[in-house]
């Protein structure tokens, strides 16, 4: 079976199945939300930019809309939220020169944790915060999330 590498840009979302890999690059304050079904070996990844928004034409830009829309996509494929888990990466606070009053990375992290809790989605693992950007690969063979940062190198959650 052929394996595809599917790039997910900022404010977008992709869904696929094993053996594909979903990935995003240059994740700074953004969040990579990876949701996986062990039963169907289907995964969905959203590259979320901001904690909240109301533009329904761009739901994956915002944590408050992304979780809901991702669950709807999984539901369309017959995947119940009782058979999924999430892994989350990102939320870095990249700039120390004046961003302290904004802390968009922290706000994104808190928002995504909150909305996953609202929908009762089990969080298996996280890699949030810090000051380094991340590249994220979500392997749909088993739900492994590979992360690379210049700060820590390569590691898995």
Percent of the chain with pLDDT over 70: 96
pTM of this structure = 0.95
Contacts of 145 (CB under 8 A, 6+ apart): 32, 34, 87, 89, 125, 127, 136, 137, 138, 139, 156, 157
Q: Which three-class secondary structure state does DSSP give residue 112?
A: helix
Confidence at residue 94, expressed as pLDDT on a 0 to 100 scale: 79
The rounded mean pLDDT for the chain is: 94
Cα 67 to Cα 122: distance, rounded to the nearest angstrom: 13
Confidence at residue 126, expressed as pLDDT on a 0 to 100 scale: 98
Confidence at residue 35, expressed as pLDDT on a 0 to 100 scale: 98
Q: What is the largest CA-CA distance in the chain?
A: 49
Listed as ranges, residues in the chain with pLDDT below 50 are 99
Confidence at residue 150, expressed as pLDDT on a 0 to 100 scale: 87
Write out the catalytic residue numbers: 30
Domain ranges of the chain: 5-156
The CATH architecture of the domain made up of 5-156 is: 2-Layer Sandwich (3.30)
């Amino acid at each position: 079976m052929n394996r595809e590498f599917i790039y997910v840009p900022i404010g977008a979302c992709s869904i696929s199945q094993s053996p594909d890999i979903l990935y995003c690059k240059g994740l700074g304050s953004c969040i990579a939300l990876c949701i996986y079904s062990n039963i169907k070996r289907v995964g969905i990844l959203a590259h979320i930019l901001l904690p909240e928004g109301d533009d329904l034409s761009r739901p994956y830009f915002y944590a408050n809309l992304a979780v809901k829309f991702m669950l709807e996509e999984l539901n369309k494929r017959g995947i119940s939220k009782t058979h999924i888990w999430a892994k989350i990466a990102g939320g870095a606070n990249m700039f120390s020169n004046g961003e302290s009053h904004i802390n968009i990375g922290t706000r994104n992290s808190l928002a995504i944790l909150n909305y996953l809790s609202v929908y009762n989605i089990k969080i298996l693992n996280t890699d949030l915060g810090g000051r380094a950007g991340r590249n994220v690969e979500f392997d749909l063979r088993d739900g492994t999330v590979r992360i690379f940062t210049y700060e820590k190198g390569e590691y898995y959650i």
